[in-house]
Chain A
Amino acid sequence: MNLCSKLKSIKNLFTRGQKIFLIIMAGCFVGLGCLFLYQMRMHTYLIGDDPAACINCHVMTPYYATWSHSSHFRDATCNDCHVPHQNIIKKYFFKGMDGMKHVGYFLTYSEHQAIRAEDASAEVIMDNCIRCHTQLNLEFVKTGRIDYMMAKRGEGLACWDCHRNVPHGGMNSLSSTPGAETQVPLPSSPVPEWIQRMVGHRQSAYKY
C-alpha cells in the first residue's frame, strides 16, 4: 500500500460522530489562527509598502513621526530603506526575520527607549542610500563605493556619520518624542463596523 492510500484509510478509523467533532475542532483551530493573524494585522505586513504597517504597534511612532516631517517623506517609505531590495526572496526573508524580532521585543516589553539600528539593519540601510543616490555616490563622489561593514572597519564613513539628521532628525527616542503618537495614523479598531453598529457603538473607535 502506498503512502497516499494509507493516509486515506485513516479516515475509516473514526466513526461519523468522531469525524464531525474532529472537523469542528480543526475548524476552530484554523479559525483561531486566522483571528490571531488578523488581530496582529498580518495582512498589512504582507501586502504593499504602506508605512502605516510599521506603526501597528505604538513603539515605532517617534520614527514614523520624524520621517513624515522629513524630506524622505515624499518619495521613500520605510521599506525603501529598511529592507533589502536585491530580490524578493531577500526582501521577504529580511522582513520576516526583523518582524519576528520586533514581535518578540514588543511582547516581552524589552524595546529600548532609544532604538538603534542593529548591524544587519545598518548594512541594509546604507546599501539603500546608495541604491537610490547611485549617481551621486558612485560617480560624482566615491563615498558610495563601500558598504557599512567596511565603514565599521574604518575604511570609510557611513552615510549618517555626516548626514546626521537624515531622515529621523538627529537623536530621538520613545521618551523624548512623546507627542509622536498624535502625529501618526493609528491602526483602526479590529472590530468591524457592522459589529460596532450591532453592539450600539455609534462611532467606530480610533477612526480619525
Chain B
Amino acid sequence: MEKKLKKWQGWLLFGGSMVVVFVLGLFVSSLLERRAEVVSVFNNRPDQFTDSIVSQNEKFARNYPREYKTWSMTEDTSFVSEFNSSQSVDVLAKRPEMCILWAGYAFAWNYNTPRGHKHCIEDLREILRTGAPGITPGKQPQPGTCWTCKGPDVPRLMREKGIGAFYAAKWSDWGPQVMNSIGCSDCHDARNMDLRPSRPALYEAWARRGMNVKNASRQEMRSLVCAQCHTEYYFSKNEKEKSYLYFPQDSGMTVEAIEAYYDKIGFYDYIHQLSRTPILKAQHPGYELYKMGIHGQRGVSCADCHMPYIAEGGVKYTDHHIMSPLAHIDRTCQTCHRQDAETLRQNVYERQRKCNEIRNRVEKELSTAHIEAKFAWDKGATESEMKPVLSLLRKSQWRWDFAVASHGASFHAPQEVIRILSHSLDCASQARLKISKILAHHGFYGDVVLPDISTKAKAQAYLGLNMAQKNADKKKFLEVIVPQWIREAKAKGRIVEL
C-alpha cells in the first residue's frame, strides 16, 4: 500500500512548480536582454572603405544589412498596376504603331518596359538594340556610352580609363567590365555614405548653367541621384568627342527649351525611314517632368515616394527597394494624404487613364502621318513641299516621345503631359492636312491605303526588318559571348559573392 498524497502536498507541488517555472522565465528574460545587446554589434560598421567608389554592392551588405536587403529586392518582378509593372513587357507588341514611329532606328526592333535596378545589366545584354558584337559582323549598333547608367563599375571605369575614352569605346569593350548592377556607389560616397551622384554628365550640365551639384541640399540630392540617369540626354555626334554624353538642359528643362537646344545645334537621332524626318528620340525625361508636376514643385523628392522610410522600432531607414509608390501606399501617399489607399490609387489611375487616352490617339495619328508622308514622297513630292511637313512631324514625335518615354510622367505631371500630347496631336494632324494638299497637288485625291500594322510582326515586316536574323544572333551572343565576359570578370575579381 503506497502512501496517499495529501491535499496540501498536491497544492504545494502545483504552486511550487508554478513559481519555479515563473522565476526561471524571469531569468530567461534577463538572458534575452543580454542577447539583445548583441544586436548593437550590427549597428557598428565592420567594413571601412577608403575609396569613394566600391563597385561590388555585396561588400556593403555587412555594414548596411537593411538597405542591402531592400536593395536586392529590386530583383522582384511581382508588382503590377493598371499601366506599368516591375516586369519586362514587350511594348511594341502592345503598341505596334511604335514600330512605325521608330522606323529606321533600333527601337523599332525591340522595346520593353524596365524591370528593377538589379536586372539592368542582363536586360541591356538581352535587348536587341545593343546588337550581338562578336556574332554579327560589322559596326556595333551602340557605343560604350550605352553602359553609362548601368551600375557602379562605370564610375570606376571612368576613373581608370578617362571619361572621354569610356564613352568613345566600343560597346563590347565594357562587356567584361560592367558586372554589378545599379547599386550603392552609384548614389553614395562609399567612405561615408553621403549622397553623391557619380555620373559626370550631371555635374557638367549644371556647371554650364553656372550651378554646382555639390551645393544642392540633401532633399535635392534625394532626387539628383536619380536625375543623373532618369533624364533626357544625347550622345554627341561630334567626331572630336565621340559619343560624349550630354544633358541638353542649357536653355531649360521644358519640352520646348530642350527642343530649341537641339534645333540650335542641328541635332537629330535618326532619319525616319518612311517620312525622312530628322527625328529627336526623347530618352526618359523623368526628372524634367517630375519638376513640372505638383509634387516636384512642392519639393517632394523622388526618394520620398519611391524609396519611402520604414520604421522598425527605433531604427528608421530608407527602403532601397525602388519601385512604384502604388505598391506601398501606406508608406508613400499616406504619409501626407489622409484618404484611404484605394481612393489614392484611383486618383493616380484617373490621371494616367486620361493621359493614356490622348497618347493612344497620338500614336495612331502620327504613325499614319509618317506612312502618308512616305506615300507623298513616292508620288513625287519635292523637298521644299515636304519641308513644313517634316518640321511638324519632328515636333509632333519629339513631344509624344517626351511625354511617354519616362513611364511615370502621366502621374508625375499630368497637366504637362496632356499639354505636350495635345500639341503633339495637333502637329500630327496639321502634318496630315499638309500632306493631303501636297498629294492633291500631285493629282492624288483618294485616301492613302494604309498597310496592316495590327501586330508587331506585321509592322516590322512592313519596315523590311529581318528580325529572325537579329534574334538568332542575339541568342548566340548570349550563349557564347556573355559567358566569356562573365568568366573574365570573375577571374579578375570584379564580381564578389556573398
Contact = CB atoms under 8 A, between A and B. Distances in A.
Interface stretch (B1-9, B360-368, B411-419): B1-9
A190 B310 CA distance: 27
Interface string A26-54: 11101110110011000000000000000
Interface stretch (B11-19, B210-218, B282-290, B435-443): B11-19
A114 B313 contact: no
B330 interface: yes
B394 interface: no
Contacts of B335: 113-114, 171, 173, 175-176
A174 interface: yes
Contact of B311 (A25, A27, A174, A205): A174
B21 A190 contact: no
Interface string B1-43: 0111100001001111111111001110110010000000000
Interface in B19-73: 19-22, 25-27, 29-30, 33
A175 B22 contact: no
A178 B318 CA distance: 12
9 contacts: A24-B13, A24-B14, A27-B21, A38-B22, A113-B309, A116-B338, A164-B338, A173-B331, A195-B27
Interface string B328-355: 1011001111101000000000000000
B251 to A, nearest CB: 38
A76 interface: no
A13 interface: no
Interface stretch (A14-22, A63-71, A83-91): A14-22
Contacts of A23: 10, 13-14, 17
B14 A191 contact: no
A159 to B, nearest CB: 14
B18 A195 contact: no
Interface in B284-332: 308-311, 313-314, 316, 328, 330-331
A58 interface: yes
Interface of A: 15-16, 19-20, 23-28, 30-32, 34-35, 38-39, 58, 112-114, 116, 164, 171, 173-176, 178, 181, 189-192, 195-196, 199, 201, 205
Given A23-B14, A27-B17, A199-B30, 19 more contacts: A15-B2, A24-B14, A24-B17, A26-B14, A27-B16, A31-B22, A32-B25, A35-B25, A35-B26, A39-B25, A113-B308, A113-B310, A113-B311, A171-B337, A173-B331, A175-B311, A178-B311, A189-B33, A195-B26
A37 B70 CA distance: 35
Q: What are the 4 tightest A-B residue pairs by CB atom distance, in nearest-first order?
A: A27-B17, A31-B21, A175-B309, A114-B334
B330 A114 contact: yes
Contact of B29 (A26, A39, A176): A39
- Interface residues on chain B, size class: 35 or more
A122 to B, nearest CB: 11
Nearest to B22: A31
A178 B15 CA distance: 45
B2 A175 contact: no
A58 B314 contact: yes
Contacts of B337: 171
Most buried by B among A175, A178, A195, A196: A175
Contacts of B21: 27-28, 31-32, 35
B20 A31 contact: yes
Given A16-B2, A113-B310, A205-B33, A175 B331 contact: yes
Contacts of A196: 30
Contacts of B3: 16
B27 to A, nearest CB: 7
A44 B393 CA distance: 73
A16 B5 contact: yes
A19 B12 CA distance: 13
A130 to B, nearest CB: 21
Contacts of A191: 26, 29-30, 33
A23 B9 CA distance: 10
A28 B331 contact: no
Contacts of A38: 22
Nearest to B27: A195
A164 B29 CA distance: 42
A12 to B, nearest CB: 11
A35 B316 CA distance: 31
B22 A34 contact: yes
Contact of B18 (A20, A30, A39): A30
B316 A113 contact: no
B19 A31 contact: yes
Contacts of A174: 311
Contacts of B25: 31-32, 35, 39
B393 to A, nearest CB: 47
Contacts of B14: 23-24, 26-27, 30
Nearest to B36: A205
A67 B34 CA distance: 33
A195 B30 contact: yes
A34 B14 CA distance: 14
Most buried by B among A15, A39, A174, A178: A174
Contacts of B26: 35, 190-192, 195
Given A15-B2, A16-B4, A205-B33, A31 B18 contact: yes
A120 to B, nearest CB: 15
A26 to B, nearest CB: 6
Contacts of B338: 116, 164, 171
Given A16-B2, A39-B29, A113-B310, A27 B13 contact: yes
Contacts of B27: 195, 199
Contacts of A113: 308-311, 328, 330-331, 334-335
Contacts of A112: 330-331, 334
B5 A190 contact: no
A147 to B, nearest CB: 19
A11 B338 CA distance: 62
A20 B309 CA distance: 56
